[in-house]
Amino acid sequence: MKRNILLFTCFYLFSVSYAAEYIPITTNNTCLLLKVNDKKRLEQSYFGEKIRNIPETESVDLETFSAYSTFGTNHVFEAALRAVQSDGNTSTELSYVSHTSEKKGDDVFHTVISLKDDYYDLFVDIHYNAYQQDDILEQWVEIRNGQKKTVRLTGYASSDLSFNARQYYVSHFHGDWANEMHISEQQLTEGIKVIDSKLGVRAHQFTHPCFILSLNRPAQENDGTVVGATLAWPGSFRFNFEVNNSNHLRILSGANPYASEYMLETGKVLKTPELLFTYSNKGTGKMTRNFHRWARKYGIKNGNKERSILLNNWEATYFDFDETKLTRIIDDAAKMGFELFLLDDGWFGNKYPRNNDDAGLGDWQTNKSKLPNGIPYLINECKKRNIKFGIWVEPEMVNPKSELYEQHPDWVIAQPHRERTEQRNQLILDLSNPAVQEFVYNTVDQILSSNPGIEYVKWDCNRYVFNSGSSSLSADKQSHLFFDYSKNLLEIMNRVSKKYPHTTFMACSGGGGRIDYGSMKHFDEYWISDNNDPLYRIYTQWGAQYFFPTIGLASHVSVSPNHITRRSFSLKTRFDVAMAAKLGMDLQPAQMSPKEYEFSKNAIQTYKEIRKTILLGDLYRILSPYNSNRTVYMYVNEEQSEAVVFNFLIRKEIYPAPPNFVLQGIDPLKKYKLTEINKDPDNWSRFNKYEGKIFSGDYLMKVGLNFAMYDEYESLVFKLTEVK
């Protein structure tokens, strides 16, 4: 569509004459307003709550910023695009050429703005998807080389957003293995703050590709202006926050160009990862609900499909199991009410059996010593008991002690003439190599096709890149490795998910090392941490849920003392924390006392009754674990007929002053009955004064509730049921 044609996204807000200058990217409640100035440069003139009358912006000159900055003749700050032209010129000057807009489905408008360098045949298309109902914007860039020789890209951001406010605060998410997704907020001052990952693979181990920007004051849950953004990319990423001399903020987001210069050959296109972002003038709560609602429709595989409650053998057996032991676990799982059994690591390898993590990885044949009747035997045992069967894979990795490595030592990521550095006794297969790409795809494909009846796959990835070299790439393209690995990995995931649309896939990467919307569109669930310690899980799940939906958040009941922290928790607390997400269990029924067994069986049945509200409901955070000794949050179903409220005391109080907290998200005109769940029948409950009583939504959201919790790591969960 040419400039003189009305954009569909304008919703008839302005006449044809204005379309020559303005390009609005709008949702139901948000507007990103772009403008082509008199020098044909593309500028950002507004981003915020939706403007109802675009022509009014003509009456005054709005402050504008470059919509996609380049390193050029007069740019002194960080640029979104840095390119070395085929003749060595290090500058780029992009001018507007045209734009098009089309409706994709009932809810999405896709806009493409085409730019071209003033002199060179270097073309940049900026793409936007505007998701109307959920107020999510998605942006990426496609860079095409039309020159006769190679162009070298040294920076290629997906997004360039600018802001003008008195103060800026950014929250980001950090941690390490078993300690993921902690929140840190800082005020931005003059200069540059960089949040990035250089890990290449398992890139989210230390920090996650998402941030919250709060304007003028620190982020609040229910009010204030915030922008939330996350990059749909499983590889190295970078967010660059630069406050300039005029106190303007520019945020560059995209794949990390560190050690990743890209040689763009003639006629080739580099597509950058998608940045997903949303604007909220009602704090981080609305931001979260925007992302969750969008994710269930577009961001996660089978986003509205019911999830199965699984029992995993890992913490019960680790690598030490056989058919007899697994059959007993399957039988126990079915009797307790589980819906799926997951066989974890250790089922493969014959010449180098997978009896520990030092051998067998890459040799994906069933271990005949442990499983003489193969995987089909276990699938059949599950079918006999009317539960599903799942399996663990780590197809991108290889142990040096394996047949695969003996046959293809050149298939791993490694620098020549340097020591090959292992993590977890393994090396990474080089996905820039087409033969390796086929091997990884065929690994998953053959496991599933040769064992019909596998209904769940846990896809793991347990290390990141050292010695980043490829025997497949030429000397001048070694810096392509990080980008190409992630791009090719997503293509493999796409092939697998298309061929097996009804198989449930969990994204696991030693915990939360690969939780992003680039991967998640091919996965039904995500494993945010290997640490099932409930206290750690409260913080980890709290952080993850700012951007990622509960329906994919797998959380398991584990043993006590916990295998990682050695800390002890009651079975009730372990269940309550896991039931606040997608319930699973590593604790084995055979390890339980009769009382624990009965409690667990009842809790699983209760979860089946409320999981739709938890997994598909709106999340409301009430008390944060970061600024209170108690944390409280709740889920409300779409009809506002049911809600489930979780309370956890994370620090013991000798003389507590019980907080009065009000509920959120329910209907003020409806009546609700309050009922505690997972209640210990042998003990008096602190919730007794509310048990079974009926209150209006108006009362619960204004007067609220007040009850004490004394014991460290104490938990209390109750539900609201509409009374008609």
CA dist., res. 440 & res. 554, Å (int) = 25
Contacts of 480 (CB under 8 A, 6+ apart): 260, 262, 263, 432, 473
- Of 362, 339, 340, nearest in space to 352 by CA: 362
Place of tokens 């047949």: 403
Task: Tell me how far the alpha carbon of residue 68 is from its chain's centroid.
Answer: 26
Q: How far apart are CA 177 and CA 325, in angstroms?
A: 30
Amino acid letter, residue 297:
K
DSSP assignment, residue 367?
Answer: -
Contact 387, 379 (CB under 8 A): no
Q: Label each residue of 52-74 as H, E or C.
A: CCHHHHHCCCCCCEECCCECCCC
DSSP state for residue 296 in the 8-state scheme: I
135 is catalytic: no
User: Which of 134, 345, 430, 460 is an active site residue?
Assistant: 460
Residues 125 and 142 sit within 8 Å (Cβ to Cβ): yes
Catalytic option among 363, 530, 533, 618: 530
**Which uninterrupted H or E stretch holds 483?**
helix 481-499
CB atoms within 10 A of CB 269: 11
Contact 122, 151 (CB under 8 A): yes
Residue 460 bears catalytic tag: yes
Using an 8 Å Cβ cutoff, are 571 and 597 in contact? no
- For residue 522, CA distances in Å to 181, 496, 517 come to 22, 8, 9
Q: Is 361 helix (H, G, I), strand (E, B) or coil?
A: coil
Give the span between the Cα atoms of 97 and 118, in whole angstroms: 10
Catalytic residues: 460, 530
